[in-house]
Structures are given as C-alpha cells and as structure tokens.
Amino acid sequence: MKRKISLKDIAAKVGVSTALVSYVLNNKKSGRIRVEVAQKIKEAARELNYRPNQIAKSLKLNKTYTLGLIVADISNPFFSTLARIIEDEADKHNYTVIFGSADENAAKSFKLINTLMDRQVDGLIIAPAENAESNIKYLQDHEMPFVLIDRNFPAISTNWVCLNNFKASFSALQHLLDRGSKKPGLLTYKTSLYNISERKRGYEIALLENNVMFQPTWLKEVSFSEDMRTAVENALDEMLGGNSPVDSILFSSNILATYGLKYIHSRDIRIPDDLALITFDEMDASDLFYAPLTYIKQPIQDMGEIATQILLENIDAIKKTQQVKLEGDLIIRKSTEMVE
C-alpha cells in the first residue's frame, strides 16, 4: 500500500509546523492564524488530497467513532435488517459499525466483546446470548457504554430496547382463541432468554385467562445447539400427532417459522383449515405462502434507531439507564381465517 499523506507532508510543503496545519484544518485558534497561511495550508491539503489518519486520531483522542454490533447471526434477516438500520443511524453521527455473530453462544459473544473492545469501539449494541450475564457484568465493570437489543436480562439494570414480548405473544394467542382455536400450540426455543420466556408466558397466561386447559404436547421447545430443522420437524410431529393435536400454532421466531412452514408445506397440512398459524416477524414468505401469514410485526426500525441513539447519548455523557419496551403489531391475514 502506498504511503499516505500526513500532516507532516503538508507542513513540509507549506513550510510550517504540523501544529499549525492541525490547527488550521480543525479550525482551532481561528482568530490567531494569518489568513494567507491558513489559505496556503488548506490549498496544500487539497492538492495533496490529504485525509487524516483516523487511527492516529483515535489513539490521541481516545475515541474511534466506531460502534460494535454483536448479534446472533448477521445472516438472519431480522438481524441484518437491524444492522442496516443501525448502520444508517450511526452514519448520521459519523460513526461506523464493526459487527460480529455470536451464534447464541455466550463464550463466543465474550470473545467478540473483547475483540471489539480491544479495537476501542466507543460503544456496543448487543443482542445477548443466553447466560451472557457475566458478559454484561464485564462491560459494566469496564464502564463500556452499551445497549442490549431484542433481549434483556430483567435482573440486571442496563440500557435495553426490546419488544413487549409478553403482550405480543398474548395478543397473538388471544387472536387465535377469538378465531376459534381450541388447541393452540407454541413452538419456541428451549432457552432462558428473557424475551423468549416472555413469549412463553404470554402464551400461558392467555390460555389461563381464557380458561383453556393446557396440554403439555401443545408447547414444544427446541434448543439452539441441535440440528434445528430436524428438531422442529420432530416437535411439529408431536404437536400435530397424539390424541390432542393442536389446531393452531404460534411460531416464536422467523427461523422456527421458516423450518416449520417448510415442513408443514411438505406434509400437505392445509392452512388455515387444518391449522392456523401466526409467526413472530414478517418474512418474505409471509406474503408468498398460499395463505398469507398472520404475523407479529416488530417495530424493528424504531428498535434500531432508539438503541443507537441511546448508545450515542451514553457515549457522550453518563446517563441514567434507559429501558425501552416497544409494542408489536399483529398483522392479521389469511393464515388465521379459520372457518368452524
């Protein structure tokens, strides 16, 4: 790589010290610099096509204008959409984004946190993995500004921006029951992640409040580690088989829904006649499925923007922690149009 133009080069060309060049190009000491010298310096900078070395600047100023983004998997549409929103919001404030995928793994997440902190990111936006409480503690110990997104830990006081998962899930269930489902199922993750457990709680409370006797086979949890596709298929087999098969399913994530829908499709189960469906998150497939899917729309734009804004506020000054719970929106479509 070619050596880049530095302050020194400009200084040499004009015949002044680097200090003066720095002052001029940063508009400091504006009153005190001879106009013609300032002119010359600016001209030289333009001619040489000077671009400040941000690494040097970062070192001196102890500020990198870089945000770290840690999600489960950047190739998951939910997270890549979020990444795009965060990128745009960060760019508005002249920040760039470094990202990493932690694969729902707290150890990998910790490694990423360290990698990003070693690079002196000014702050972090994190969709934390299960059991990542110690990571959070670590960040707090180091007074590193950060915001949790999508998931939070209720026992730890941090900044976070999350969906009202309980309510979203509750509303979805209420809708299913209102539409005549007698045996609604929930396919979700086996995890202690709070957002996911809130989705489960929404399901359970909705059944309770509607006096529906819950059957264990209606609720299936698949874990992150195993072969997800097979796990989903087995779970669905159990939900749909036995002596009390479900007549509707709420999928707890876009990933689960994708695997689930493919399997349901292959098994020739009719939607919504044999089975009503609701998914968390919109997917391209939501529109393309023969029965357009009822889904819980997450306010992902707000989520990304607010998280970034909170983070930037916390970078600029110490703020009291902010916790934002956003409401989802149930978009009702064909997959829950049951005929009794």
Partner DNA sequence: AATATTTGTTTAATCGATTAAACACCTAGT
Partner DNA sequence: ACTAGGTGTTTAATCGATTAAACAAATATT
Interface residue list for DNA (CB under 7 A): 3-8, 15-20, 22-23, 25-26, 28-29, 31-34, 37, 52-53, 56-57, 59-62
Q: How far is the CB of 30 from DNA (least distance, A)?
A: 10
Q: Which of the listed partners (DNA, a copy of itself, none) does 218 bind, with a CB threshold of 5 to 8 Å by partner kind?
A: none
* Tokens linked to 123: 């702050």
Sorted by sequence, the CB contacts under 8 Å of residue 324 that are 6+ apart come out as 160, 161, 162, 306, 310
Torsion of CA 80, 84, 86, 90, to 10 degrees: 140
Q: How far is the CB of 91 from a copy of itself (least distance, A)?
A: 8
Q: Which of the listed partners (a copy of itself, DNA, none) does 81 bind, with a CB threshold of 5 to 8 Å by partner kind?
A: a copy of itself
Candidates 28-36, 97-105, 183-191, 197-205 — which segment interacts with a copy of itself by CB under 8 A? 97-105
The nearer residue to DNA, 115 or 158, going by C-beta atoms, is 115
Residues 288 and 257 sit within 8 Å (Cβ to Cβ): no
Query: Residue 30 and residue 33: Cα distance in Å, rounded?
Result: 6
Site for a copy of itself in 110-149 (CB under 8 A): 114-120, 141-145
Residues 171 and 160 sit within 8 Å (Cβ to Cβ): no
Site for a copy of itself in 142-201 (CB under 8 A): 142-145
Site for a copy of itself in 56-75 (CB under 8 A): 56, 58-59, 64, 66, 73-75
Site for a copy of itself in 202-231 (CB under 8 A): none
> First-to-last CA distance in the chain?
71
Other CB atoms within 10 Å distance of the CB of residue 37: 15
Q: Which of the listed partners (DNA, a copy of itself, none) does 331 bind, with a CB threshold of 5 to 8 Å by partner kind?
A: none
Query: Residue 312 and residue 146: Cα distance in Å, rounded?
Result: 9
Give yes or no for residue 100 binding a copy of itself (CB under 8 A): yes
DSSP state of 1: -
